[in-house]
Each structure stands twice: as structure tokens, then as C-alpha cells.
A and B are shown apart, each in its own frame.
Chain A
Amino acid sequence: MANKKWPETWQEFNLGGMVFSPGNASEYHTGSWRDQRPVLDTSKCIKCGLCYIFCPEGCISQDADGYFVSDLDYCKGCGICAHECWPGAITMVEEG
């Protein structure tokens, strides 16, 4: 909630409560929710993209080398990627 900016006055309230910035929910970093974090062992990763497909946040994407990595700003630590990873390249590690 800390990231959100409420409109100061009623005059600033968008007509009809419409939101004109598609996807601006991404201003809120859900990464603060997690208590465990995915760690990728690139030696095992076969770059299949299953983790990218199965992530409910849609925060996994390919880096410059083609490995699929999680964006820790949004990762909620659900562990689906680690559970589904074929070669077991992803491990969930306790935060903090």
C-alpha cells in the first residue's frame, strides 16, 4: 500500500473511476510478500520455459543468455516454478 498514491482531492478522481494507465498495478512490488525465493542453477536449466508458463505472476522472463529468471520485485515465492522444473534447476531458499 505504501507505493500507492491516492488522489489528493475529489476533483482529481478520474471520471467514473476509470484507470487510463494499463498495467500500472506493476507499481506495487508484490515481492515483499514472500518468505522464500527461487534460485536458478544454470548448469541444470534447459531453457524450456515451463517455469515462465506456469508463473501466476508472469514475472519470469529470459535474460540475455536465454535462462529464465524471476523478477524478485514481484515473485511471491509460491514455489510453483521450483516444483514444476523438470531438471530440478530451481530451488526455493528461505528469505532473510
Chain B
Amino acid sequence: MTKRVGMEIAFAAAEAVALCKPDVVAAYPITPNTHIPEHLSDIVADGRIDAEFICVESEHSALSACCGASATGARAFTATSSQGLLFMGEVMPIVSAMRLPVVMAIGNRALSGPINIWNDHSDIMSQRDMGWISIFASNGQEVVDMVIQAFKIAEHREVLLPLNVNLDGFQLTHVVEPILFPDQEEVDRFLPEYEPYATLHPDKVLSMGTLGMPEIFNEAMKAKDVALINSKRVIMEVWEEWEKLFGRKYEPIQGYKTEGADVLLLTMGSMDETAEVAIDELRERKVSAGLLRLKLWRPFPIEELRNAVKSIKVLAVMDRAVSCGGAAGPVCAEIKAALYGEPNPPAIVNYVIGLGGRDVTVDDFITIAEKAAQAEKEKPKEAYEIYGVRGS
């Protein structure tokens, strides 16, 4: 029976991982995701799951160990944030190229410079091209659901790609929320035992991680790219199944009060929920505004985005990371690329908000929506605006 529990979301993420019966967990602590490996190690120490918890000496080793474990056929999990993600960065494209279904939870935190332990999306945005499936959670329930879905998606024979679940550091990781937990039997029925495609074992000898000459490298990358693009079909199937089993619906882009909207805000992560409150307020004032919550970041849902903005006038894209010196924030650049060439695209304004954990309030979103509405008539002066920065 599903249980409703009030729990800190990081702990809940660990409980969700435990429900999936991982075989190997190799993680290195880094604020703000530390509670995930800590709680998992408690669960292992109490014998609630039978897993090898490797206290690795760095994040690079964490992902490397997960790689090695996954290659033997074990279900592997790790978690990290920010600098830790960069440190394992060398291994990121290798895990996807080797088609190892490692699942990672990222407590999104600002990349250093200056060092800052609070929430923004710069860490995951630096890993866009690494070939991982990337999903964003807006609240504790989504974190738990997505972690359990993650293993099923990643290990699917037509996918076999690593997957990261993104939850905002502190804004989600350290917040206590009521969460509905499926029970072990329900998860066991949903998530079968991992059946690897090939493993490291003397009974069937193979070599993994061979050298790719220029003569085959293009083909290797094409194969990986196609696998990632095609994984969307499996993701949709898994989400459909989840809705049937648990009644909670997931889509690559979820609309909130979008009917008849002229202006749509687009957000990712926990700021979705703050934006929803702002939209409620705006609708009260008879402003025709709505919200798009982007849940699936990679593979990017091009079709769903195009459909979502078909009849609107302005799209205000929130980026929680700056692409320094770029033509747009990371998410906005992706959206503009997806909409280029579409007939009657909306005007697009780009706001970079909430860097380094700066609070984004309901009022901020209301202001942004009002400013965005002007963009239909008056093109913004800059490519993107870092919202709320002091000084002109």
C-alpha cells in the first residue's frame, strides 16, 4: 500500500533508490546532496537493502566505480552536485558511450567562482552534450517518482543510457514535504531485475571501452545520438505506465493554466511551483498568462515545445544559469534552436534568475510576466537579462 510520509526530500530520494534495490552505490559527499548518500549508507548499514556502498575518495572515482559496477551487471547509483559533477565530468561522456545505465541524482548547485553551495542549474547545464537522459523534478513527489522511473528507463533494452534526475539543492533537497511512497511490492512489479546487455565475466569474454579510430568515431557518435533521441519513446511509455499504476501524470512539458494564454513563462525545477502561484495571481487579475514546466531536458522535446507555443504571443524563458558571453541562456538557446524556422514563432524573452541560490519570489514572476508582455511590441535590448542583479 502506498504510504504518505513527511520526509526531507533528500532522504526521500534515498528511500526511493532503496526501493529499487540497487546493487552498488558509490558516492562522495558534497553539499547539498550529501543527505542522499548518507541516508543510503544508513539503509545499507541497517541491512534494509543488500548493496555494496563504496565510500569513494572523489566524485571522479564515484562515477568510475559505478561504471565498473554497471559493466559487471550490477544496478549502480551515485549522487553529486556542482563541482563534484565537474570532477566526474571526464567520465560522463564515457558512461553514455559505453551504454551503461547508471542513475545519478544531482542536487543542483551553482558552479564555483565564487564558491557557492546554493541552488542553480549551472552544474547540469555544463553537461548538456554528454549523452545522458536528463529529467527535472519540481517537488519531492516528483523526485521520488522520477528516481524509481529512472532505473526502468535507463535499463530498458532499447535505451541503455545513463540518466540523471535533477533536484534543486536546498530548495528541494533540504525541504520536508509530504510524499506518497509506493511500497516494495509495487516497485518490484514496476521495476524488474536488471538484465544487462553484456557483462564483464569470464563465461562470456568481451572487451569494453575500445579505441575508436576516425574511421568509426562518427558512426559511434551517431549510434549514441540516435539512442538518446529514441529514448523519448521509452520515457513516454514508462510515464504512461506510471500514470496507470499511481495516477500521477508526467509529460516532457507540462502546461499550467495555458488555455488561451498570450504570455507563457517557461521554468525548470522547483521554481515551477513558485511560478504556478504567480500564474494563479495573474489569472485572478485577468492577465492571460500561463506556465510551461519543462521536465525532460535531454532528449530535448522539440515537438512538444513547438506544439506548446503554437498560438501564444510571448514566451518568457527562465534560465537558472548563465552562458557567459553567449547569445542566450542555456535553456533559451535550446528553445530558440527548436523554434527556428517555425511559422509565427512567439517573441522570446530570456531571464536569468536565481543564480547561486538567490530567492525567486512570486512577485518576481509577476513582474517578469508583465515585462514579458511588453516584448510583443518592443524587442528587448539585451539577448538575456540577469533578473534582479543590483546595479545597472
B207 and A9 within 8 A (CB)? no
List, in ascending order, chain A residues with CB within 8 A of B219's CB: 7, 9-10, 12-13
Question: Footprint of A on B, CB under 8 Å?
Answer: 97-100, 160, 197-198, 205-210, 212, 215-216, 218-220, 222-223, 226
| Contact across chains for A17 and B220 when beta carbons are under 8 A apart | yes
State whether the Cβ of A22 lies closer than 8 Å to any Cβ in chain B: yes
* Given A6-B215, A7-B216, A13-B216: A18 touches B222 (CB 8 Å cut-off): no
- Asked whether, in the complex, the Cβ of B207 is within 8 Å of the Cβ of A19, the reply is yes
The distance from the CB of A21 to the nearest CB of chain B, in whole angstroms, is 9
* A66 CA / B226 CA spacing, docked (Å): 55
Chain A's interface size range is 10 to 19
With the chains together, A19 CA to B206 CA distance in Å? 6
* Residue contact B198 to A11, C-beta cutoff 8 Å: no
- Distance (Å) between the CB of A6 and the closest chain B CB? 5
Give the distance in Å from the alpha carbon of A17 to the alpha carbon of B226 in the complex: 15
Q: Give B207's nearest chain A residue, CB to CB.
A: A19
- Given A10-B223, A12-B219, output 14 extra A-B contacts at Cβ < 8 Å: A6-B216, A7-B216, A9-B219, A10-B218, A13-B222, A15-B160, A16-B100, A16-B208, A17-B97, A17-B98, A18-B206, A19-B206, A20-B198, A22-B206
Q: Which residues of A contact B99 (CB under 8 A)?
A: 15-16
Q: List 27 A-B contacts (CB under 8 A).
A: A6-B215, A6-B216, A7-B219, A10-B218, A10-B226, A12-B219, A13-B220, A13-B222, A15-B99, A15-B197, A15-B198, A15-B223, A16-B98, A16-B99, A16-B100, A16-B198, A17-B208, A17-B209, A17-B210, A17-B220, A18-B198, A18-B208, A19-B207, A20-B198, A20-B206, A22-B205, A22-B206
For the complex, give the distance between the alpha carbons of A12 and B215 in Å: 13
Smallest Cβ distance from A67 to chain B, in angstroms?
A: 31
Q: Which residues of A sit under 8 angstroms from B210, Cβ to Cβ?
A: 17-19
Give chain A's interface residues, CB within 8 Å of chain B. Answer: 6-7, 9-13, 15-20, 22
B-chain residues with CB within 8 Å of residue A18 when the two chains form the complex: 198, 206-208, 210
Q: How far is the CA of A13 from the CA of B220 in the complex (A)?
A: 6
- Closest A residue to B211 by beta carbon equals A17
**Interchain nearest-CB distance for B335 vs A (Å):** 28
Chain B residues with CB under 8 A of A13: 216, 219-220, 222-223
Q: Which residue of B lies closest to A16 (CB)?
A: B99
Residue in B198, B205, B209, B216 with the greatest tally of chain A CB atoms within 10 Å: B216
Q: With a CB–CB cut-off of 8 A, which chain B residues contact A12?
A: 219
Name which residue of chain A comes closest to B98, CB basis. A16
Please name all residues of chain B whose beta carbon is closer than 8 Å to the beta carbon of A15 when the two chains form the complex: 99, 160, 197-198, 223
CB distance from B199 to the nearest CB of A (A): 10
The docked-state distance in angstroms from the alpha carbon of A12 to that of B172 is 43
* Chain B hits for A20, CB < 8 A: 198, 206
Min distance, Cβ B229 to any Cβ of chain A, angstroms: 13
B contact residues around A11 at 8 Å (CB): 223
Closest chain-A Cβ to B167's Cβ sits at a distance in Å of 28
The 7 A-B pairs of least Cβ separation, nearest first, read: A10-B219, A16-B99, A10-B222, A22-B205, A19-B207, A16-B98, A13-B219
Chain A residue at smallest Cβ distance from B209 = A17
Nearest opposing residue in chain B for A25, CB measure = B207
Nearest CB of chain B from residue A20's CB, rounded to whole Å: 5
Bound together, the chains give a CA A11 to CA B225 distance in angstroms of 12
* Beta-carbon contact of A16 and B215 below 8 Å: no
- Chain A: minimal CB distance from B17 (Å): 24
* Closest beta carbon of chain B to A5's beta carbon, Å: 10
Most buried by B among A9, A13, A20: A13
A22 to B99, CA, bound (A): 20
Rounded to whole Å, the gap between the CB of B123 and the closest CB of chain A is: 26
Return B192 CB to nearest CB of chain A, in Å.
20
How far does the Cβ of A38 sit from chain B's closest Cβ, in whole Å? 30
Give the CA-CA distance A6 to B214 in the complex, in Å: 11
Q: Whole-angstrom distance from the CB of A16 to the nearest CB of chain B? A: 4
Docked CA distance A71–B207 (Å): 25
Closest B residue to A19 by beta carbon equals B207
Rounded to whole angstroms, the CA-CA distance of A92 and B220 in the bound complex is 43
User: A58 to B236, alpha carbons, bound, how many Å?
Assistant: 52
**A78 to B235, alpha carbons, bound, how many Å?**
56
**Which residues of chain A are within 8 angstroms of B100 by Cβ–Cβ distance?**
16
